[in-house]
Amino acid sequence: MYDPSRPSGPKIIAIANQKGGVGKTTTTINLGAALAERGLKILVVDLDPQGNSSTGLGIDVENRTNTTYELLVDELALSDVILETRHTNISLIPATVDLSSADIELFSNEKRSFLLHDALRRTEIDGFGFDYILIDCPPSLNLLTVNAMVAAHSVLVPLQSEFFALEGLSQLMLTVREVRQSANPDLRIEGVLLTMYDARNNLSKQVEDDARENLGDLVFATVIPRNVRVSEAPSYAMPVLSYDSQSKGAVAYRDLAEELLRKNARLAA
Residue 3 lies in a domain: no
**Distance separating alpha carbons of residues 194 and 205, to the nearest angstrom:** 10
Identify which of 134, 129, 167 has the alpha carbon closest to the alpha carbon of residue 24.
134
Residue 18 belongs to a domain: yes
The reply to whether 202 falls in a domain is yes
User: Nearest Cα to 53, choosing from 76, 87, 18?
Assistant: 87
CA 14 to CA 175: how far, in whole Å?
13
What is the pLDDT confidence band of residue 167, given thresholds at 50, 70 and 90? Answer: confident
* Per-residue pLDDT at 199: 86
Is it the case that residue 190 has pLDDT exceeding 70? Answer: yes
Judge whether 6 lies within some domain: no
Categorize the per-residue pLDDT at 267 as very low, low, confident or very high, splitting at 50, 70 and 90: low
Asked if residue 5 is part of any domain, the answer here is no
Percent over 70 (pLDDT), the chain? 96
Q: How far is CA 192 from the centre of its chain?
A: 12
Residue 4 lies in a domain: no
pLDDT at 169 over 90: no
pLDDT, one tens digit per residue, over 66-108 is 999 999 999 999 999 999 999 999 999 999 999 999 888 888 8
- What are the tens digits of pLDDT across the range 8-58? 689 999 999 988 889 999 999 999 999 999 999 999 999 999 999 999 999
Read out DSSP for 125-171? Answer: GGGGT-SEEEEE--SS-SHHHHHHHHH-SEEEEEEESSTTTTTTHHH
* CATH number assigned to the domain comprising residue 233: 3.40.50.300
Q: Which residues, 6 or more positions from 206, have their beta carbon under 8 angstroms from its beta carbon?
A: none
Neighbours of 62 (CB within 10 A): 6
CB-based contact 224:256 (threshold 8 Å): yes
pTM: 0.94
Query: Is 2 contained in some domain?
Result: no
The domain of 197 spans 11-268
Residue type, 3: D
The number of folded domains in the chain is 1
* 99-103, 130-134, 146-150: least confidently modelled range: 99-103
268: confidence class by pLDDT, cuts 50, 70, 90: low
Q: Indicate the pairing of strand 90-93 with strand 83-84.
A: antiparallel
